[in-house]
Structure 1
Amino acid sequence: MKLLGHHHISMYTKDVTNNKHFYTEILGLRLIEISVNQDNPSMYHFFYGDEEGNHTGIIDRYFFKSVYYRHNGIMYEFATPEPGFMRDTPKTQLGQQLNLPDFLESNREAIMNSLKSIN
Structure 2
Amino acid sequence: MTPNEIQNLIGARLASMPDALRIVVPNETQTAPAKPYLILQTRSRGDQDPALAGGAEYSEGSFVIMVVTDLNARTARADDLAYAVKAQFPKALRLAPGLAIRLSSVLGGYPDDVSWRVPVQVDWGP
Structure ID, larger Rg: 2
Question: Bigger relative contact order, structure 1 or 2, given CA contacts below 8 A and separation 6+?
Answer: 1
Q: Tell me the TM-score normalised to structure 2 length.
A: 0.27
Q: Tell me the TM-score normalised to structure 1 length.
A: 0.28
